Amino acid sequence: MGPLTICELSEHLAAKGVANEVRGDGNRLVSGCNTIDAAGDGDITFLANSRYRDRVSTTKASAIIMKDDPTLEPTIPQIICDDPYLALTLSVVRIHGHRQHPHWGVHPAAHIAETARIGKNANIGPGAIICDGVVIGDNANIYPSAYVGPHVELGDDVVLSPNTTIHYGCKLGSRVIIHAGTVIGEDGLGYAPVGEKWLKIPQAGNVEIGDDVEIGANCTIDRGTLGTTRIGSGTKFSNLICIGHGCEIGSDCMFVAQVGLAGSVTVGRHVTIAGQAGIVGHLRIGDNAKVYAQAGVGGSVADGEEVLGSPAVPVAEARRQFIAVKKLPDMRNQLKKMEKQLADLREIVDKNGARE
């Protein structure tokens, strides 16, 4: 981490599998990464979206990562590659590094049950609560006021941010990151109607989360009523995600903020669900499907299908509907005009008929 020349950064990217070419002064030092508008002296920026093309000539960055584009003539050194966003990501890791955790060891103000088993190099902050029967792998980072309930299992390199809650019997794989305020394994919405009352159904299942999952702040993942709610390996959640009991979510999915899944939804692998989308219970969302922002999904979605709108329909159909809705005011005015014309014609016909 720290400053390096553009040539050194280029070599680092190549070692990570990103083929690239340096153009301009490869000996210029860069010590930070920033957006094309905010970058200044010492920063390297990037161009991955064509809407920012005009900023290339005005950016104050010291260098830029971009695709080969003969129509642009940057005045600063360039790293030319096919995937600038990936190259920028690797550059951020190389220059800035990942956030470093505070070092507590096992803090004396943490409460750890005698029957809990803690792996090597644990880092457990003050006020954290580790209950009976908990098993925690190596290199755990558990922040203050995190709660790990009875018989929970955590893999290696797990990070629990402040005020996270992992309830009874849940299992988290290795390298799982849970952000502040998230609750894993709370009771789901399980009630049986009895007349005009609701009888609570005990939620006897649990939650299992695979390796390399990251879950944002203030998310809730309900435990299964009888079985398991599952989150597949590599899946990433933004903030404020709500997952109902008994859902099964595949690997490498991406859920954006405020997504909500009702109970027993099955989601395939590599599914993207955009912000504020809602999924009705007991549906299947197929592999590689995309659910666009604010979609209301009331039916299953096929593999690779992209849906939009509420109720959600295939994207092409939704766009036709949106265009039609935009035209409704003009169509209404045209209809009123035609109705008046028709009324005038009827009046003429009626008068002519009366004369005859």
Active site residues: 245
Question: Which of 244, 204, 249, 201 is closest to 220 using CA atoms?
Answer: 244
Whether omega before 3 lies within 30 degrees of 0, making that bond cis, reads: no
User: CA-CA distance, 181 to 232, in Å (whole number)?
Assistant: 21
Residue 138 structure tokens: 């190596």
Asked if 312 and 300 touch (Cβ cutoff 8 Å), the reply is no
**Phi, psi for residue 332 in degrees, rounded to 5:** -65, -45
User: CA-CA distance, 123 to 143, in Å (whole number)?
Assistant: 8
Q: Distances from the Cα of 116 to the Cαs of 93, 165, 166, in angstroms? A: 35, 16, 14
First to last CA, the chain: 99
User: CA-CA distance, 67 to 82, in Å (whole number)?
Assistant: 5
